[in-house]
């Protein structure tokens, strides 16, 4: 077996469909994550607040500390692995333009800070949840843009 470094991914007949599959899976993950969060944990601040702190009037229990920590822990792991994979593909397919680097940094930093704000929202003050919601949407949108951009570059002659 010969292990070679593929220099031009978009010109390689095997790497192109492989990366397309990977990028489509990441796009699907991003969409499904939004849907699942919308119906489960919540995306908008009001829904997230309800999940984290419950509501006595509606007899909704607050999430337990252990459940929250487990949720947070899994989110961190999934997000870091998916975004690192996406970045690796994006860097190889982008032309190294400054704009692309900025977009990638926005995505990574917004994802990281959304997780920090989520924990701050639960442990410190509910006010941080608004920041979490905004950053959660920002990193999903930028990640989706990076997927679309990578697919476009993959098939550009």
Partner 1 sequence: MHREYQNAIAIFSLFVILLVLSGVMIFIEKIGLSVEDIMVYYLGSEEKFIQAKSFQGLLKIVLPHTFAYGLLSMVLLHFLIFTDQRNLRRSKILVFVIFSSAFLEIVSPFLLLRGLEFFAYLKLGSLIVFNLSLLYVSYLLAKSILDSSK
Q: Which of 30, 104, 135, 147 binds partner 1 (CB under 8 A)?
A: 104
Kindly tell me which of 9 and 44 has the beta carbon lying closer to partner 1. Answer: 9
77 binds partner 1 (CB under 8 A): yes
- Cβ neighbours of 129 (radius 10 Å): 24
Which residues lie closer than 8 Å to 43 by C-beta, 6 or more apart? Answer: 34, 37, 133, 136, 137
Angle at Cα 83 formed by Cα 78 and Cα 87, nearest 5°? 155
Q: Check if the beta carbon of residue 9 is closer than 8 Å to that of residue 93.
A: yes
Segment near partner 1 (CB under 8 A); pick from 27-35, 85-93, 126-134, 148-156: 85-93
What does the binding site for partner 1 look like in residue numbers (CB under 8 A)?
A: 65-66, 69-70, 72-73, 76-77, 79-81, 84, 87-88, 91, 96, 101, 104-105, 108-109, 112, 115-116, 119
């Amino acid at each position: 077996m010969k292990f070679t470094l593929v220099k031009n991914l978009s010109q390689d007949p095997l790497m192109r469909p492989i990366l397309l599959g990977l990028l489509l899976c990441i796009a699907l993950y991003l969409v499904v994550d939004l849907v699942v969060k919308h119906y489960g944990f919540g995306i908008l601040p009001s829904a997230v607040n309800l999940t984290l702190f419950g509501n006595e009037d509606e007899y909704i229990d607050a999430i337990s500390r252990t459940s929250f920590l487990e949720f947070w822990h899994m989110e961190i792991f999934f997000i870091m692995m998916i975004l690192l994979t996406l970045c690796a593909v994006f860097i190889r397919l982008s032309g190294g333009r400054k704009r692309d680097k900025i977009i990638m940094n926005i995505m990574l930093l917004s994802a990281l800070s959304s997780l920090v704000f989520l924990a701050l929202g639960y442990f410190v003050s509910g006010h941080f949840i608004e920041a979490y919601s905004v950053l959660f949407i920002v990193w999903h949108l930028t990640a989706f843009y990076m997927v679309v951009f990578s697919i476009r570059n993959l098939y550009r002659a």
